[in-house]
Amino acid sequence: MEKINLTEKQKELLETYGVIQEQFGLSPASARVNALLTVIDQKELTFDEIRAILCLSKSATSNAINNLLTINYIGYRTKLGERKRYFFSRMDQWQDSFRKNLDGFREYNKVMKAILAERTPETKDYNTKIKELTQFIDYYSEEAKKIIDNWEKK
């Protein structure tokens, strides 16, 4: 296995992007693997290359990769006659990701509206906050859909 070296700027970007992804709920290892596959010049990396570059244990690397595959942030290819998997970023599918997130917001909002319908009227202030949230999510979802649709027309 040929050693892959990152530039100092790539290392800095990897760390910065990794921290941002942690703030969005990814584990530190998953965030770094995803950041690596986004920052690095190679189109794809093997398990061992990812592990070596990030200095992660086998289990941490495996868990991170499996998590990222499950949430569709990364994908993999195989090559005929080889057992290795070659992992790559799915950054090119960002529009689908945004649409799925919007779908998630809509489902969340359905549940919040159902909760609101079942709440006692005695907690008027709290109920008002839930109602405002559901109204905002409705507004946000519609506007975000328009933005994505307009972007795709460019």
Count of structural domains within the chain: 2
Q: What is the pTM of this model?
A: 0.79
Q: Is residue 55 part of a domain?
A: yes
Q: Is residue 21 part of a domain?
A: yes
Q: Is residue 3 part of a domain?
A: no
Are residue 138 and residue 72 in the same domain, yes or no? no
CA-CA-CA-CA dihedral for 82, 64, 25, 145, to nearest 10: 10
CA 2 – CA 23 distance, rounded (Å): 33
Are residue 36 and residue 76 in the same domain, yes or no? yes
Last residue of a domain, one of 89, 111, 140: 89
* Domain extent at residue 138: 94-153
pLDDT for res 99: 86
Are residue 149 and residue 119 in the same domain, yes or no? yes
Helices 28-39 & 47-54, crossing angle to 10 degrees? 110
Residues of the chain with confidence (pLDDT) below 70: 1
Last residue of a domain, one of 74, 89, 104: 89
Task: Give CA separation, 114 vs 35, 110, 121, 131, 138, in Å.
Answer: 38, 6, 14, 11, 14
The CATH number covering residue 14 comes to 1.10.10.10
Residue-wise pLDDT tens digits, 125-134: 999 999 999 9
Beta bridge partners of 78: 85
The separation between the first and the last C-alpha atoms of the chain, rounded to the nearest angstrom, is 43
Are residue 21 and residue 59 in the same domain, yes or no? yes
- Helical ranges in the chain per DSSP H: 8-23, 28-39, 47-54, 58-70, 94-118, 124-153
Q: Which residues fall within 8 angstroms of residue 46, CB to CB, at 6 or more apart? A: 1, 84, 85, 86, 87
Are residue 101 and residue 136 in the same domain, yes or no? yes
The arrangement of strands across the sheet holding 85-89 comes to 45-46, 85-89, 74-78
pLDDT for res 95: 83
Which residue in 1, 31, 29 sits closest to 18, CA to CA? 31
Q: Is residue 1 part of a domain?
A: no
Last residue of a domain, one of 71, 89, 107: 89
pLDDT for res 77: 96
